[in-house]
A and B are shown apart, each in its own frame.
Chain A
Amino acid sequence: MPKKYQVPVKAAPPRFKPIGKYTTIEFREDCAGSCRKCVKKACIYNIFKDNYKHVAHMAEPEYLYACQSCFRCVQECTRGIFSRVINPEYRSLGDDYWQADVIHRTWYQAHTGKIPVSGAGYRGPFVGEGFDSMWTDMSEIVRPTRDGIHGREYINTGIELSRRNSRLSFSEDGSPVDGMPPVFEIPVPVMLRQPKFGVLSENVLQAAVRAAYFLGTMFFINPEYYSANLARFADCLVPCLSKHNYIDFLERAPGIRMMELSYDNESGKIISGLRALKTGLIISAGVPLNSEAASRAVELAECGADTIHFYADSRGRELDSENPRFIKEMIREVHLRLVGKLIRNRVNLVFSGGIAMAEHVAKAIICGADGVTIDIPLLIALECRLCYRCRDDKACPVKIGDINPDWGKQRIINLVGAWRNQLIEVMGAMGIREARRLRGEVGRSMWFEDLEKENFGPIFGEKKVSGLV
């Protein structure tokens, strides 16, 4: 049996106590003192084991990362002295895109490598902005394998990053006319990218690069951060170069298999030139995701780029626009333009920005991406709290710069492993066995506007409110 790709996860506990959501408030003047029935001793999750102290010795309220919110202590204390509030630090964690809950779950996944699981149904809004206004489909009786939950290893999440010829052409003696382009595959549709902020010390880079190397995926790196220490991981590095420095860099860094060229109007020419110079090199073009993205995609696909890598902003919005569209719509536009020009299959589309959760990977692929890249989730996996103090050269509250690269590597592997497992869950439910088959497969998704129109339209008539409000 061929070897199956698996991501070995291993617990990598946080170095600092993560910011907890809850804190208990105790009206201590009512406490009976050394009560033998103290509910802190009885906590079934034993979360007070580290911070159980006699009330007389407790100075500050304690923020409970591990509190599972069962309300037993609140409801059972013989004197009723407990109440609970939300930790004010938790309230200020993240923003309205990178929500505290997203950060928390990312921490959990980087810590354990497990899929977040909970009971008692869904607890969020009915519908939301961006990716939250679409659902993925499932199939009642069809499954990609007949092995139920044990057949998941047969689901392939691999994608290609290399270009393809539209058709084969043969000479009269039956030999192919054009050489076949190289085939370049990665086993997960998630690539890593150097974050734009954060304490990017040698240790942090090493952690991310080693994780990418181990996972068999790619790491998009700013060439200024490239050093000889990273040379042995050259297989997984994608330097993001411009027309000014690409020649120098390729000479300086041997063993690079894939590079990215930031787009300008000469890109087509340079790509053709490079093709002749370095036949095996996979070339990606880095393009800002703005209103011209689709036409540039057509241009670059026709010039023979292998992959086109679009950059949205950190919250997945279109660039250079007063009224930016979300990455979901942008992917549709680029993908459909290429489909319309009959060149979608020649090139691969990778999107970056705003990919915050595993479901975003699946949904981006459904919209028409081949793969995605992530940057901020890498920092969060390393315990980043998105406080952005580093932008002002202030000290990092979790000392990210000083991490042990092996620990950081495991945290990132755990995160990608958990995401991949979730992607497999979604694909399994849809009855899709190949991530490549999922690309652009909107028939396996349901969109808010369509569902409203199809099911509520006949009952309630015309919708008077646009958008999601």
Chain B
Amino acid sequence: MKNRKKKNVFPETRVTPSRFRNTIGKYTVRRNSRCISCGLCAKLCPYGVHQRYENFNKSLRPVEHKCIGFACRENDFFCIDRCPEQALTLSLNPILDTLGDYRWTDEMLIAHWEMAETGNLPAVDLEYSLGNSGGGFDKIRFKLTETESCSGPADEDIDMSVLLNKRSDGRPEKTISMPCYGGGMSFGSTALNVIVGRARAAKRLNTLTCTGEGGYPEEFVPYADHVITQVATGLFGVREKTIQYAPVVEFKYAQGAKPGLGGHLLGDKVTPRVAAMRETVVGNALFSPFPFHSVYSVEDHKKHVDWVKEINPRVLVSVKVSTPSDVDMVAVGSYYAGAHIVHIDGSYGGTGAAPDIAKKNIAMPIEYAIPKVHKFLTEEGVRDKVCLIASGGIRNGMDVVKAIALGADGVVIGTADLVALECVRCGNCESGRGCARGIATTDSELGEMITEEWAENRIVNMYLAWRKEWCMILRRFGMKSIRELVGRSDLLVHLDYLEESERIKYQPAPNIKLVI
């Protein structure tokens, strides 16, 4: 009965266009001086490439990222052919060469910007589910089913919620309404409007976001039910009050981007407000040591967990660890120390600045760690008692469901949130004044490029688009809840493990050589 009353209500989409006047799309549409401003193209195009305002007689520059490209030729509204003056030209955007990388391809970036704008999966032919990395998620596919029918429960009848507390220990049985929550981005590393925007999005989506280790700015208080307080090795900004605010406290032992290295906030980013929050000196670089200096065993760790549980009797405890070769032991140890959530962070992800050598080489990719931990927890007989969360290199909606099918209960998203805010993944989060796109910066000018509302809407939109993908997958396998998918690795195939005759039935892994 309860379920019926509480339908899976999701927030509505609010269309939220780019902040920049020139958007980047897969195609470019150019209008030359032959244009006579007749307005035919604006009437024709159903995608809104050509816009025209009332009482304004001139043609505007085409909104290129909406253009569906050469596939449009079939349509009778193809503007290039229909233009009476032949003033329009269409081409592939040459800038794509310079955008994206092996993991986040140009098309994946552009598609996520579109999702964040509209809340829908893009109409343009973009490959947004597969990267070009040639391994891991990019080679894993869901099994083909006999019938690709669209029948089955409607989107709103599919349950995407995840139970965070499975211990039955008297603490709240908290659920989040979708199988993702936001990864830690600290006050200081990321613009305040961005992290507050993420918190607002978390509230609207009924999920969580995380403070990172930069303390708990007051702006978070209205969204306190949706903000995880992170306790990291530097203990910056951790106070009794902030533990009491939080529905979940996350212990960060290591992070996938720089496993075993601790953290480093450059002096430039330590503005007076950041310094006050972290109780440090303005302009001084801040190091988070590795590891916790008070934790050298599971017993020490339990002491930490008990301490937090004592301070806040309603809090759930999450333990975030990286993926060393013994990650399975670490996960089990965390469970026995009292964690509700075991969060494993794989090596290829991360949003923060980290040495390139660490991002590439240290610790194992999450694709290996999830089945490893899932299997071990199952063998130990505790899998049903713990919520396993994976992160690090989970880029898009399909990666999320693949991770869940491999054995995770849910995932944590960082980079994709930032891509929704028009991150181009240039990687210069730390240099100079910080992020040129106004995301990872505390610069007085750049840090104000984004408003809370804009960030909130874009992030919500992206998840709404993802949700559509998840629903399609669940319907395909006749499931009504994302929880049915957990650990169903029998529904997955890996291209390298298929016979040639089987493999050709699946979409091949993109294999494009990039100039890097």
Contacts and interface: CB of A to CB of B under 8 A. Distances in A.
Contacts of B120: none
B498 interface: yes
B21 A458 contact: no
Given A45-B436, A138-B254, A458-B371, A121 B359 contact: yes
Interface stretch (A112-120, A171-179, A292-300, A308-316): A112-120
Contacts of A147: 289
Nearest to B348: A122
A456 B375 contact: no
Given A120-B429, A121-B103, A124-B102, A140 B254 contact: yes
A142 to B, nearest CB: 7
B90 to A, nearest CB: 15
Question: Which of A101, A118, A363 has most B Cβ within 10 Å?
Answer: A118
A58 interface: no
A90 B392 CA distance: 31
A358 interface: yes
Given A69-B424, A459-B371, A118 B429 contact: yes
Nearest to A444: B325
Given A76-B22, A85-B94, A426-B362, A119 B429 contact: yes
Interface string A63-102: 0000011111011111010011110001100000001110
Interface string B281-295: 000000111111101
A72 B355 CA distance: 25
Given A116-B356, A124-B516, A68 B295 contact: no
Interface centre among A69, A101, A462 (most CB of B within 10 A): A69
B324 A140 contact: yes
B22 A75 contact: yes
A119 B351 contact: yes
A71 B24 CA distance: 9
B23 A75 contact: yes
B132 to A, nearest CB: 8
Interface in A425-451: 425-426, 428-431, 446, 451
Contacts of A100: 515-516
Interface in A24-68: 25, 44-45, 68
Given A121-B103, A455-B368, A464-B499, A70 B426 contact: yes
B133 to A, nearest CB: 4
Interface in A414-433: 422, 425-426, 428-431
Nearest to A456: B494
Nearest to B327: A140
Classify chain A's interface size: 35 or more
Contact of A428 (B132, B134, B260): B260
Nearest to B289: A148
B385 interface: no
A75 B20 contact: yes
A121 B360 contact: no
Contacts of A363: 361
Interface string A105-145: 10000000001111111111111000000011111111100
A465 interface: yes
B95, B369, B497 pick with most chain A CB within 10 angstroms: B497
Contacts of B134: 125-127, 468-469
B306 to A, nearest CB: 17
B427 A119 contact: yes
Nearest to B262: A149
B260 A121 contact: no
A359 B355 contact: no
B258 to A, nearest CB: 8
B364 interface: yes
Contacts of B436: 44-45, 68, 70, 72
B423 interface: yes
Interface in B397-431: 406, 415, 418, 423-431
A119 B423 CA distance: 11
B233 interface: yes
A149 B253 contact: no
Interface in A348-370: 357-359, 362-363
B320 to A, nearest CB: 11
Contacts of B257: 121
Contact of A69 (B262, B362, B426, B430): B426
B440 interface: yes
A127 B490 CA distance: 24
B353 interface: yes
A75 B24 contact: yes
Contacts of B450: none
A148 B287 contact: yes
Contacts of A358: 357
B98 A140 contact: no
Nearest to B349: A121
Contacts of A392: none
A150 interface: yes
Which residue, of B18, B103, B446, has the highest number of chain A Cβ atoms within 10 A?
A: B103
Interface in B291-331: 291-293, 295-297, 301, 321-322, 324-326, 330
Contacts of B338: none
A361 B174 CA distance: 48
B347 A122 contact: yes
Nearest to B19: A75
B104 A123 contact: yes
A461 to B, nearest CB: 6
Contacts of A68: 426, 428, 431, 436
A318 B499 CA distance: 32
A78 B322 CA distance: 45
A142 B357 CA distance: 20
B358 interface: yes
Contact of B135 (A74, A121, A127): A127
B101 interface: yes
Contacts of A251: none
A78 B293 contact: no
A135 B347 CA distance: 10
Nearest to B357: A422
Nearest to B496: A465
A44 B435 CA distance: 9
A45 to B, nearest CB: 6
- With most chain A CB atoms within 10 A of its CB, the pick from B20, B325, B330, B418 is B325
B261 interface: yes
A146 interface: yes
A220 interface: no
A120 B135 CA distance: 19
A16 interface: no
A440 to B, nearest CB: 17
A49 to B, nearest CB: 14
B353 A119 contact: yes
Q: Taking each of A21, A99, A142, A456, which has the highest tally of chain B beta carbons within 10 Å of its own beta carbon?
A: A456
B114 to A, nearest CB: 15
A115 B258 CA distance: 13
A140 B364 CA distance: 13
Contacts of A141: 253, 291-292, 295-297, 301
Contact of A119 (B21, B352, B498): B352
Question: What 3 A-B pairs are tightest by C-beta distance, nearest first?
Answer: A148-B289, A126-B135, A429-B260
25 contacts: A44-B432, A68-B436, A70-B426, A71-B424, A75-B22, A78-B21, A85-B97, A105-B356, A118-B429, A119-B352, A121-B103, A121-B351, A121-B392, A125-B102, A126-B102, A137-B325, A141-B253, A146-B293, A362-B361, A425-B261, A456-B371, A459-B490, A464-B496, A464-B498, A468-B135
Given A119-B427, A148-B293, A459-B490, 12 more contacts: A22-B98, A85-B98, A119-B351, A123-B425, A124-B103, A127-B134, A138-B322, A138-B363, A462-B497, A463-B497, A464-B499, A468-B135
Interface of B: 18, 20-24, 61, 93-95, 97-99, 101-104, 132-136, 138, 233, 253-254, 257, 259-262, 264, 287-293, 295-297, 301, 321-322, 324-326, 330, 347-365, 367-369, 371-372, 375, 392-393, 406, 415, 418, 423-433, 436-437, 440, 446, 489-490, 492-500, 503, 515-516
